[in-house]
Amino acid sequence: MTGDPLVPLLDLPGVRDAVDRARVACEELRWHEAFRRRWREVRAEADLRAARASAAVDGAPVPLSAVRALATGSGADAGDGALRLAGGSLRVTVLAATWRPDLGGPSAATLPPLGHVLARLHAAAGAGWLPDEDLGRVRGAGVAPRDLGGLGPAPDGGEVAERLALLTRTVTATRAPGLVVAAVAHGELLALRPFAAGNGVVARAAARLLLTTRGLDPTGAVVPEVAWEAGLQPYLAAAARFATGTPDGVAAWLVGCADAVVRGADEGRAVADAVLAGRLGAV
């Protein structure tokens, strides 16, 4: 595609090999026996783990059992700050799952425009703890985000709107591999912090969704969030480097995202093993 701004990123140092590693990891996961008949169970459990890990990255570490209770309606998130954030992360993950193609269906799905997806995800993330007027709405001029302060100053609201529109057009038109598309969207959303708060869980859920809808992870069971949780400081440092726009910073971020997918595929395999063994209730 002439003028595609993402395809040349493959030529940055280490990126093409990293993309290949992520592709192989996802292909190997796809052949796990659990995906023959029980892929919905595997996806559902992987979603719980993604929601829990993403909330932990944003400073809300809660047990997987608590997230499972929220998902089944046997837990409440109203009285505890960490549980409120975890509940928002769970709602985001559940909503994103509605846009994923079924396993065995088309290799790629058509999403609504990215801006619409992000607004819906943010409204789910912030329901019950952000003011209604902030839900799904991009920050206005002069309004600073209240999260992810370690990434440096965020762009002003006017610039954010322009860059989100550009990101939406790019994601729609690019022919770059799914890993590159998801990583760029993830990094740009962290850099922009387009909403008043809740930007982290939205960015990670959008990136994970793109991994599936772009065909890299047809299982929908890869959980890259566990890698970000395990290496929180490297994650934030890499995001800050990506935001600089330098070739080295962008390359490091893309390689880190690919490595997180490889780690997330390992988590997906552990989930698939647990589904076959009937061990989900033990974790």
Query: What domains are defined for the chain?
Result: 7-282 (1.10.3290.10)
Give the model's pLDDT for residue 27.
Answer: 97
Mean pLDDT of 58-62: 92
Mean pLDDT of the chain: 92
Give the model's pLDDT for residue 222.
Answer: 98
186 near 154, Cβ under 8 Å? no
Give the model's pLDDT for residue 1.
Answer: 42
Residue 216: CA atoms inside 13 Å, Cβ hemisphere, count?
31
CA distance 164 to 255: 23
Q: Is the overall model pTM greater than 0.85, yes or no?
A: yes
The string of pLDDT tens digits covering residues 120-130 is 999 999 998 88
DSSP codes, 74-127 = SS--SS-HHHHHHHHHHHHHHHHHTTSPPTTS-SS--PPPHHHHHHHHHHHHHT
